[in-house]
């Protein structure tokens, strides 16, 4: 079958358009169309390619799903070796680096191009006539592995270049890495499917890129930032490194948005401090920053040592990971009875903080990682999260290392331990009879986002329980200042403060109160949803599972827990005493009436005669509606004023409701008066 010229042209047009949107989305992070619009371009291209298979080329955006698996990676020799970087750890190292450079060059001020040091793996990509023809790993620096088929699946890497002016043949070099969010999701998925999880994003990136089946790579959330070049015709080089990266970006090759241009060692150091501050907020992992003499003629003059350029240096951040020894494994009992193994560690510095215990998450996880008392382990602390054990260094395991088994009885109250239906978690069945659970539930009740009882901390709760002054949360409101003042580390003043904090906490909201009760699976968000929906505790108490499940975002499991909670006579009794003590709240507003357009999205096109777009937007939003910029299948209404634009046609094509100005005004009026 011959392909009509019209179809050929359309296919080419679609590919160009999709490539452009890939660039806007993956490289610049500035999409100009909605996901739905993108999907419809892609769908059209797929349709045409299915109909005319002879039009399919390996470069088509539809082919990013991966080529057939191969037996092994072919070796690739690097014409320009892929060198490493020297490392610096202190400010002094950076001053020394600059001094050496100045001595060699005999110049005064030096500009540096600064970049994040990405934690992934180095890859070189060859472009010929603007087409991606080969990609290879670094290997030993001289010979790497051909990973072309896999690199082609990385969405941010252009298969064809944008713009113009690229040399006939050149190499872009950079780091393939896995963004943290993608890494988290990948591990979550692997855990759910009983597959191997990765210790960190770097391992995940390496494991994903070195997959013999490119279809597997295609499903992994890999990304790429270019930081340099290999082969490149000398006469075509711009004068500086940062201009080179600008040029790469204009051709569609991604570079780190966090790069910068600074003056002298001091400029480098302030870049370092800035990036260190932002480290936890970046979407990818960095283990430091890299400084590069910006001028290519100076780079050339400085040259290389055997392993690294003299014109660049990596300034490392304090490590997120450290190794230490597991001295003990304790079992902690949480608020809902979950038993968690916690590794007690020989204290070690990680990222500037001393760490002496790390979560093992649950017994299954502990077993999977095979963590034993006496083991040497890698621990990791990122941001504010609780440090965790990443990996055991099995080679260092002593003969007397001891594995622990999940307990059959609660280590605190000796109640029977039961497995959750899901399988992974085990729980103490003691409920509030278990001192550990009772203590944790009181702590939760008093916490800032629950009843917010200022000054009621863990140590104080311990004492109150030990002395028998309280047996449950309701007893808190019977405490008097004299009793409190007699406790350790409490004087009359702090006792009085606590009494006042308790008094103040009595005035609360229904949502906070529900959250504070610690009903299983009812976190803050669910508590708010329940409060908005029922607006009264009595109505919620009376609700059955079916009624609860009618509420969007309340599933059968949550519904079961809620009903079970309010069926427990003990719970009802505690609630009764709390209310008797004076806990109260205002009835929540009836939000279902106040926000009748909740969840509805609107798009405007054309000019309205009775109000400005901003006014219209404000009105809609005050009724709960949302206004967006582009039409998709998810749009509920397109409001068309005078001279509507392409959004009108799009809405018609997608079958979205279109309102003219009069109908729109009617809608506003109907919903405001109710």
Q: Which residue has the tokens 């009108």?
A: 648
Task: Report the site for ligand IVH in 262-301 (rule: CB under 6 A).
Answer: 290
Over its C-alpha atoms, the chain yields an Rg (Å, rounded) of 31
Closest distance to ligand IVH from the beta carbon of 272 (Å): 13
How many whole angstroms separate alpha carbon 154 and alpha carbon 159?
Answer: 10
Q: How many helical (H) and strand (E) elements, i.e. helices and strands, does the chain have?
A: 25, 24
How many whole angstroms separate alpha carbon 583 and alpha carbon 506?
Answer: 4
Q: Would you call 316 a catalytic residue per the annotation?
A: no
Closest distance to ligand IVH from the beta carbon of 67 (Å): 25
> Helix 180-192 crosses helix 201-209 at what angle (to 10 degrees)?
80
Among the listed residues 49, 175, 285, 365, the single contact to ligand IVH using CB under 6 A:
175
Q: Is 245 in the site for ligand IVH (CB under 6 A)?
A: no
Closest distance to ligand IVH from the beta carbon of 128 (Å): 23
Taking the least distance from each CB to ligand IVH, the nearer of 175 and 472 is: 175
Q: Is 312 in the site for ligand IVH (CB under 6 A)?
A: yes
Among the listed residues 15, 21, 78, 117, the single contact to ligand IVH using CB under 6 A:
117
Q: What does the per-residue mask of binding to ligand IVH show for 97-116, with x meaning CB under 6 A?
A: ------------------x-
Q: Which residue has the tokens 């009617």?
A: 666
Q: Which residue has the tokens 């699976």?
A: 521
Closest distance to ligand IVH from the beta carbon of 185 (Å): 23
Taking the least distance from each CB to ligand IVH, the nearer of 290 and 390 is: 290
Q: Which residue has the tokens 């064809």?
A: 160
Taking the least distance from each CB to ligand IVH, the nearer of 115 and 375 is: 115
Taking the least distance from each CB to ligand IVH, the nearer of 224 and 251 is: 224
452 sits in the region (left: phi over 0; alpha: psi -120 to 50; else beta) called: left
> Helix 91-105 crosses helix 264-278 at what angle (to 10 degrees)?
150
Taking the least distance from each CB to ligand IVH, the nearer of 293 and 603 is: 293
Task: Give kind and range of the element (H or E) at residue 35.
Answer: helix 35-51
Closest distance to ligand IVH from the beta carbon of 304 (Å): 8
Q: What does the per-residue mask of binding to ligand IVH show for 313-332, with x meaning CB under 6 A?
A: -x------------------
Among the listed residues 94, 118, 417, 498, the single contact to ligand IVH using CB under 6 A:
118
Q: Is 83 in the site for ligand IVH (CB under 6 A)?
A: yes
How many whole angstroms separate alpha carbon 255 and alpha carbon 338?
Answer: 45
How many whole angstroms separate alpha carbon 54 and alpha carbon 30?
Answer: 33
Closest distance to ligand IVH from the beta carbon of 264 (Å): 19
Among the listed residues 122, 322, 434, 529, the single contact to ligand IVH using CB under 6 A:
122
> Helix 556-567 crosses helix 569-580 at what angle (to 10 degrees)?
70
Using CB positions, name the residue nearest to ligand IVH. 122
Strands 601-605 and 637-640: parallel
Among the listed residues 85, 378, 479, 551, the single contact to ligand IVH using CB under 6 A:
85
Task: Give the range of 82-90, 276-284, 331-339, 427-435 binding ligand IVH by CB under 6 A.
Answer: 82-90
Q: Is 135 in the site for ligand IVH (CB under 6 A)?
A: no
Q: Is 531 in the site for ligand IVH (CB under 6 A)?
A: no
- What are the contacts of 308-311 at 24+ separation with CB within 8 A? 308/83, 308/84, 308/85, 308/86, 309/83, 309/85, 310/100, 310/101, 310/104, 311/101
Candidates 117, 292, 439, 647; catalytic one? 117
Taking the least distance from each CB to ligand IVH, the nearer of 122 and 502 is: 122
Q: Is 302 in the site for ligand IVH (CB under 6 A)?
A: no
Closest distance to ligand IVH from the beta carbon of 24 (Å): 23
Q: Which residue has the tokens 């002395």?
A: 467
Closest distance to ligand IVH from the beta carbon of 308 (Å): 7
Closest distance to ligand IVH from the beta carbon of 26 (Å): 19
How many whole angstroms separate alpha carbon 26 and alpha carbon 223?
Answer: 9
Q: What does the per-residue mask of binding to ligand IVH show for 34-73, with x meaning CB under 6 A?
A: ----------------------------------------
Report which of 653, 669, 660, 652 is spatially closest to residue 604, judged by C-alpha positions.
660
- HEC per residue, 533-580: HHCCHHHHHHCCHHHHHCCCCCCHHHHHHHHHHHHCHHHHHHHHHHHH
Among the listed residues 182, 214, 254, 309, the single contact to ligand IVH using CB under 6 A:
309
Closest distance to ligand IVH from the beta carbon of 39 (Å): 33
Task: Give the range of 155-163, 306-314, 377-385, 548-556 binding ligand IVH by CB under 6 A.
Answer: 306-314
State the number of binding residues for ligand IVH (CB under 6 A): 15
> In angstroms, what CA-CA distances link 389 with 207, 320, 332, 356?
20, 12, 16, 11
How many whole angstroms separate alpha carbon 566 and alpha carbon 389?
Answer: 39
Task: Give the range of 51-59, 69-77, 80-88, 595-603 binding ligand IVH by CB under 6 A.
Answer: 80-88
The total number of residues written for the chain in this structure:
674
Neighbours of 94 (CB within 10 A): 21
Among the listed residues 61, 228, 337, 430, the single contact to ligand IVH using CB under 6 A:
228
How many whole angstroms separate alpha carbon 23 and alpha carbon 39?
Answer: 15
Q: What are phi and psi of 391, to 5 degrees?
A: -165, 150
Among the listed residues 170, 224, 227, 477, the single contact to ligand IVH using CB under 6 A:
227
Closest distance to ligand IVH from the beta carbon of 81 (Å): 9
Q: Is 223 in the site for ligand IVH (CB under 6 A)?
A: no
Task: Decide if 329 contacts 354 (C-beta within 8 A).
Answer: no
> In angstroms, what CA-CA distances link 335 with 387, 512, 604?
20, 17, 49
Among the listed residues 50, 57, 84, 646, the single contact to ligand IVH using CB under 6 A:
84
Task: Catalogue the active-site residues.
Answer: 117
Residues that bind ligand IVH in the complex, under the rule CB under 6 A: 83-85, 115, 117-118, 122, 138, 175, 227-228, 290, 309, 312, 314
């Amino acid at each position: 079958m011959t392909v009509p010229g019209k179809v050929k042209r359309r296919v080419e047009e679609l590919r160009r358009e999709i490539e452009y949107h890939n660039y806007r989305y993956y490289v610049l992070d500035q999409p100009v169309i909605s996901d739905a619009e993108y999907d419809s371009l892609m769908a059209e291209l797929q349709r045409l390619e299915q109909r005319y298979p002879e039009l399919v080329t390996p470069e088509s955006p539809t082919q990013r799903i991966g080529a057939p698996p191969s037996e092994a990676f072919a070796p690739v020799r690097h014409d320009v070796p892929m060198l490493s970087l020297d490392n610096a750890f202190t400010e002094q190292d950076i001053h020394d680096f600059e001094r050496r450079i100045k001595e060699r060059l005999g110049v005064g001020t030096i500009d540096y191009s600064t970049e994040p040091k990405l934690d992934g793996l180095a890859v070189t990509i060859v472009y010929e006539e603007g087409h991606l023809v080969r990609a290879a790993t670094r290997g030993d620096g001289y010979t790497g592995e051909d990973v072309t088929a896999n690199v082609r699946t990385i969405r941010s890497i252009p298969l064809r270049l944008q713009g113009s002016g690229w040399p006939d043949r050149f190499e872009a070099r950079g780091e393939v890495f896995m963004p943290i969010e993608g890494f988290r999701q990948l591990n979550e998925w692997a855990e759910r499917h009983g597959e191997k999880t990765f210790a960190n994003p770097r391992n995940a990136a390496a494991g994903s890129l070195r997959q013999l089946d490119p279809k597997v790579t295609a499903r992994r959330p890999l990304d790429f930032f270019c930081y340099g070049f290999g082969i490149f015709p000398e006469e075509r080089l711009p004068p500086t490194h940062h201009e080179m990266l600008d040029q790469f970006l204009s051709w569609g090759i991604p570079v780190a948005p966090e790069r910068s241009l600074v003056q002298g060692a001091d400029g480098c150091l302030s870049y370092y401090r800035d990036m260190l501050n932002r480290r936890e907020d970046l979407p990818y992992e960095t283990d430091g920053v890299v400084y590069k003499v910006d001028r290519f003629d100076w780079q050339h003059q400085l040259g290389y040592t055997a392993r690294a350029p003299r014109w660049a240096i990596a300034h490392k951040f304090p490590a997120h990971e450290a190794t230490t020894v597991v001295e003990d494994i304790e079992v902690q009992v949480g608020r809902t009875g979950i038993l968690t193994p916690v590794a007690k560690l020989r204290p070690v510095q990680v990222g500037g903080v001393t760490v002496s215990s790390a979560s093992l998450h649950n017994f299954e996880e502990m077993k999977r990682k095979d963590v034993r008392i006496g083991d040497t382990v890698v621990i990791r602390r990122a941001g504010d999260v609780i440090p965790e054990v990443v990996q055991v260094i099995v080679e260092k395991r002593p003969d007397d290392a001891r594995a622990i088994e999940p307990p059959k009885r609660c280590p605190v109250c000796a109640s029977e331990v039961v497995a959750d239906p899901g399988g992974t978690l085990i729980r103490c069945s003691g409920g509030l009879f278990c001192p550990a659970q009772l203590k944790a539930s009181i702590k939760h009740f008093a916490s800032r986002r629950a009843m917010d009882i200022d000054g009621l901390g863990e140590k104080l709760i311990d004492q109150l329980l030990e002395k028998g002054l309280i047996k449950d949360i309701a007893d808190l409101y019977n405490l008097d200042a004299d009793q409190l003042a007699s406790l350790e580390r409490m004087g009359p003043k702090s006792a009085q403060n606590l009494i006042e904090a308790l008094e103040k906490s009595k005035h609360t909201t229904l949502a906070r109160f529900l959250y504070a009760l610690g009903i299983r699976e009812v976190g803050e968000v669910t508590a708010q949803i329940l409060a908005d929906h029922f607006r009264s505790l009595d109505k919620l108490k009376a609700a059955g599972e079916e009624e609860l499940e009618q509420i969007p975002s309340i599933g059968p499991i949550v519904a079961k827990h809620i009903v079970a909670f309010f069926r427990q006579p003990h719970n009802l009794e505690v609630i009764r005493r709390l209310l008797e003590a004076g806990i109260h709240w205002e009835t929540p507003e009836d939000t279902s009436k106040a926000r009748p357009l909740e969840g509805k999205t609107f798009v405007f096109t054309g000019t309205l005669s009775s109000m400005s777009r901003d006014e219209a937007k404000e009105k809609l939003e005050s009724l709960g509606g949302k206004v967006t910029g582009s039409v998709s299948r998810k749009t509920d209404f397109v409001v068309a004023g005078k001279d509507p634009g392409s959004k009108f046609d799009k809405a018609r094509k997608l079958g979205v409701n279109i309102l003219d100005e009069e109908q729109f005004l009617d809608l506003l009026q109907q919903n405001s008066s109710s």
